[in-house]
Amino acid sequence: MRVQPAAPATRREAVRLALWWLTAGALATGLAAHFTLVLLHVLPPNPVSAAFRGVTRAWVVPRFAQDWRLFAPTPVVNDCTAYARALYDDADGEHVTEWLDFSTPVVRAVQRNRLSPRNAVLPMLFTAMYDVTNRAGPRDGLLRQRLLEEWSDVARQPPSLVVLEASGSAALAAAHPDRAFRHVQVMIAIQPPLPFAERNAPEDERPQAAYLVLPRVPFQPVAAWGAGR
């Protein structure tokens, strides 16, 4: 069926129609510009995105910030576990607590109940662990030492490490409510999985874990689980 164009009846209607088309044109242009910038920002590395990185970043971050590397190009394969210990003083002098595993209880809580409030904390802890281990990288000796010295100052730490220390502090405070801690220290255990070809082998045949021990920093009071402070 042919649609006949409707002619505007009055001058007022004609102005409204022109305004409508102007608005439609502006919105279409805006939408196209927005998604061109977002697309250039999120695409895998390529020459065009690199050429416009400054412009795309200025538009996309922070309001439209997004990253679609979901488990890609390579999913993180290592298992990580976060531990924390604290230093405290009493009449006998300085003491250090045992290492406390504060990521596994969160994993267990979410495994028991997929709707547990810990559901939000779980990705936060693991994202933080992967970020810290990536930043520490495979460097050895002097380079690793320099990085850890830099991180002994909380003000120079990456957000992921600050969040791990704060989460560890909350767990330690809950485990030892009667102690006043002076310092907190975080350690991350990194264990590679069994390769796909050995997926049916027993768990105890997995490769040994490596440990990343991070510098001790002043203990920070953090809100407790389950209630307001």
Partner 1 sequence: MSAAFWTRVRRRLTTERHLLGCALVRLGAGLVALSYLVGHWSARELLWGPGAVYPLFLYRRDLSLLRWPSLFAVESDVAFTALYVAAIAVVGLYTIGWQTRWLGLPFYVVVSSLLARNPMLLTGGDALFLAELPFLVFLDTGAYLSVDSGWRRPGERFEPPSRPFAALLHNVALIGIAIQLCMAYEVSGLYKVAGELWRNGTAVYYALRRPEFVLPGVSAAIYRPASVVTLLTYGTVAFEIAYPFLVWKRGTRWLAVLIATLFHGAIAVVMGLVTFAAEMLVFQLVLLDDEQYRRAYGWLVRADERRR
Q: Which of residues 36-65 bind partner 1 (CB under 8 A)?
A: 38-39, 42-44, 61-65
C-alpha Rg value of the chain to the nearest Å: 27
- Work out which of 54, 75, 93, 141 binds partner 1, going by CB under 8 A: 75
CB of 143 or CB of 224, closer to partner 1: 224
Q: Is 166 in the site for partner 1 (CB under 8 A)?
A: yes
CB closer to partner 1 out of 79 and 144: 79
| 211 contacts 191 by C-beta, under 8 angstroms | no
Please give the residues from 129 up to 148 whose contact with partner 1 meets the rule CB under 8 A: none
Residue/partner pairs of 35-42 with CB below 8 Å, 24 or more apart: 38/64, 38/66, 41/66, 42/66, 42/67, 42/68
Residue choice 121, 175, 190, 212 for contact with partner 1 (CB under 8 A): 121
Only one of the segments 13-21, 48-56, 180-188, 209-217 lies at the binding site for partner 1 (rule: CB under 8 A); that segment is 13-21
- Among positions 169-208, residues that touch partner 1 (CB under 8 A) are 170, 193-194, 196, 199-200
Q: Does 218 bind partner 1 (CB under 8 A)?
A: no
What is each CA distance from 97 to 74, 83, 130, 193, 226, in whole angstroms? 37, 11, 25, 29, 23
3-state SS, residue 11: helix
Number of residues near partner 1 (by CB under 8 A): 78
| Tokens encoding 64 | 């439209």
Nearer to partner 1, 85 or 167 (CB): 167
Residue written as token pair 């936060």: 124
Residue from 10, 66, 138, 177 in contact with partner 1 (CB under 8 A): 66
**HSE toward the beta carbon, residue 23, CA cutoff 13 A:** 6
Q: Between 24 and 143, name the residue whose CB sits nearer to partner 1.
A: 24
**Strand stretches in 41-165, DSSP E:** 79-90, 93-96, 100-101
In the set 5, 47, 93, 177, which binds partner 1 (CB under 8 A)? 5
Nearest distance in Å: CB 182, partner 1: 18
| Cα 181 from Cα 155, distance rounded (Å) | 20
